[in-house]
Structure 1
Amino acid sequence: MDIGKNSNIGTKRLENQDRVDVLQRDTFALLLLCDGMGGHFGGSLASTITINVFKNEFFTTLPESFDSNNINNFVQWFQNTLEKVKTNMKNAANGDEAKMDMGTTLTGAFVDSKSKTIIIFNIGDSRTFLLTKNGDLHQITKDHNVYNKLVLEDGWSKIDALKFKGWRALTSALGPLKKTKLEIHNVSDHYNIIQMLLSTSDGVHGFLDNMAITQILKTKENPDDTCEILVEQAMLNHSNDNLSAGIIVLDEK
């Protein structure tokens, strides 16, 4: 597997609250992307803690084997790690009310090339896509925001939902006081037709449509350069946020 990542503060923000990493060991790879939120550096703290805790757990407590048809051991490991993240966040906030309001999105993918397992996960409105070997891009995650709640759960039309003042507000995030909804997708059945996995923060996908993303992914650059091109193109399209992208390219077999 080949991996790449890029993160940029952008042109409108005073700090970069995004964090992205791609971890590898043995036959495993774990792509993690976070878009932090919260003042007084709370967003940066939340996203940094999330990446650091997952990195530690990836190298110390991740199960040694996986079954693509039964991902319960991964889900249990992931949920346990989320609890450790929340505990670390609470300890870092140390009673500071502003920091207790910290939060972050979390999306990404886990790959085990031995068992041909691919699991995609999401909390919030960062996104994870897969690109097939035929060049088709599929967004796997659904944004956890008010817009999707209104449309998918409350029966609103898409037009009316977009008129709602707070439609972009998150309905799920990872933080000490946040409501956290974990979305998991087992796409292992499609392992042999998947070429690439991509995660982006909204500073990227909010300013690049899927056609533009697909064209960039097809350029055959190395993954780090591909991520950088995604970020730079979104900035050229006047992105007003931090921008991050991470990629796992599956082995050609």
Structure 2
Amino acid sequence: MRVRTSARSHVGQRREVNQDAYGVEQPGAATLLIVCDGMGGHLAGEVASTLAVDTISASFRPEADPDEALRTAFTAANDRVYGEGHGSMGTTAVAALLLHNQLYVANVGDSRAYLVREGQITQISHDHSFVSDQVAAGLMTPDEARASNVRNIITRALGHSAEVAVDLFSHDLRPGDTVLLSTDGMHGLITDAEIAEIASMFPPEQAAQQLVDRANERGGIDNITVVIAQVDQLDEPVPATPAAAPGASEAPAAPPAPTERPLSRLGLTLAALTLVLLVGVGGLLWAAPGGAHAPAVAPTAPAPTPAIPSPTVSVTPAIPDR
């Protein structure tokens, strides 16, 4: 596939340290996008997000099954962050793999993966957060969740515990599609409709910058990170392999079975004459006195068998605010 990418990250208007981290890799025919939003006191969040991006990138194996490759990379990142902090630091993580005309997404936490197609936006990932659970239960609207003072409470993160559950998603890709990853410092201030409009209107470089600028204009209350990939061309379909021609070593096809031909008119005539002669000679032998054979007696016809009548047939615990 031919894919264009761009990324922007900004500390925002209220934070002193940018605890977001991102990566854009193109191993072989694949394009791998990663976004992480760290949490923890005294630079621990910055360390956690950087460790996660580096480990996911280094552990990813493009030749493996895509889902398994993403799961393995996320598990390795969790092991490393947890090993460094023993639960005192953590990070969200979302990754998008574009490979062979397919999109594969893995996520833990509330950083998001979107697909924008023909002006319409779809959130591919699922937020692991308190407000997301409230929205899913019908106890809160999306607008209320966006404005809630507990919107930063997440229920799953890399590095929080020794084991982590990774959500996996997949989706087909088409020419013109835009894949967008973001931290909540962006999508917490900009609606999905606005994201779709900007991603559809501008190329990746300008779209990423426009989204960061708009989030800052609305207060920039958190670190802001956006990574975008636009699909310009898909891989060509692999043609079907033609059937091999039969080789010399192969046995030739068996000839069709001969069909029975009808006797000719002459053959029928000769057969009839032969039958007449045989009957005549046989009659003379039977009629001769003292013959060796007694006259044939016609057999008695058997009594008819009475007809038999036919039978009738019936028809997960919350993680502290970062």
TM range (shorter): 0.7 to 0.9
Alignment of structure 1 residues 208-247 onto 2, 5 Å = 208-221=190-203, 223-247=204-228
Residue 13 of structure 2 is aligned to residue 11 of structure 1: yes
- Report % sequence identity: 26
Contact 1:208 1:234 in 2 (8 A): yes
Q: What root-mean-square deviation, in Å, do the aligned CA atoms of Structure 1 and Structure 2 show?
A: 2.3
The equivalent position to 1:89 in structure 2, one of 71, 74, 81, is 81
Assess, with a 3 A threshold, how the Cα gap between structure 1 residues 131 and 177 changes in structure 2: closer, same or farther. same
* Cα distance between partner residues in 1 of 2:79 and 2:233: 40
How many residues in Structure 1 have an aligned counterpart in Structure 2? 229
Residue 88 of structure 2 is aligned to residue 106 of structure 1: no
The equivalent position to 2:164 in structure 1, one of 180, 198, 208, is 180
Match of 2:230?
Answer: 249
Shift of 1:183: 1.5
Match of 1:68?
Answer: none
Paired residue type of 2:217: L
Assess, with a 3 A threshold, how the Cα gap between structure 1 residues 142 and 194 changes in structure 2: closer, same or farther. farther
* Cα distance between partner residues in 2 of 1:210 and 1:90: 33
Match of 2:183?
Answer: 201
**Unmatched 5+ residue regions in structure 1?**
66-72
Assess, with a 3 A threshold, how the Cα gap between structure 1 residues 121 and 82 changes in structure 2: closer, same or farther. closer
Contact 1:103 1:178 in 2 (8 A): no
Match of 2:246?
Answer: none
Match of 2:241?
Answer: none
Alignment of structure 1 residues 71-90 onto 2, 5 Å = 73-90=65-82
* Cα distance between partner residues in 2 of 1:164 and 1:56: 37
Contact 2:129 2:151 in 1 (8 A): yes
Match of 2:47?
Answer: 45
Contact 2:111 2:184 in 1 (8 A): yes
Question: Any idea what the Cα deviations from partners look like across 1:31-69, whole Å, max 9, x if unmatched?
Answer: 1000111112111111000111122123xxx1426xxxx
Contact 1:107 1:127 in 2 (8 A): yes
Alignment of structure 1 residues 153-172 onto 2, 5 Å = 155=137, 157-158=139-140, 166=150, 168-172=152-156
Assess, with a 3 A threshold, how the Cα gap between structure 1 residues 90 and 103 changes in structure 2: closer, same or farther. closer
Contact 1:104 1:173 in 2 (8 A): yes
* Cα distance between partner residues in 1 of 2:184 and 2:55: 23
Contact 2:176 2:232 in 1 (8 A): no
* Cα distance between partner residues in 2 of 1:104 and 1:246: 17
2:26 is paired with a residue of what secondary structure? Answer: strand
* Cα distance between partner residues in 2 of 1:167 and 1:236: 20
Higher relative contact order (CA 8 A, sep 6+): 1
The structure with more helix, counted as a fraction of residues: 1
2:222 is paired with a residue of what secondary structure? Answer: coil
Question: Any idea what the Cα deviations from partners look like across 1:153-172, whole Å, max 9, x if unmatched?
Answer: xx45226x969874541111
Assess, with a 3 A threshold, how the Cα gap between structure 1 residues 79 and 25 changes in structure 2: closer, same or farther. closer
Contact 1:10 1:235 in 2 (8 A): yes
* Cα distance between partner residues in 2 of 1:158 and 1:203: 20
Larger gyration radius, structure 1 or structure 2: 2
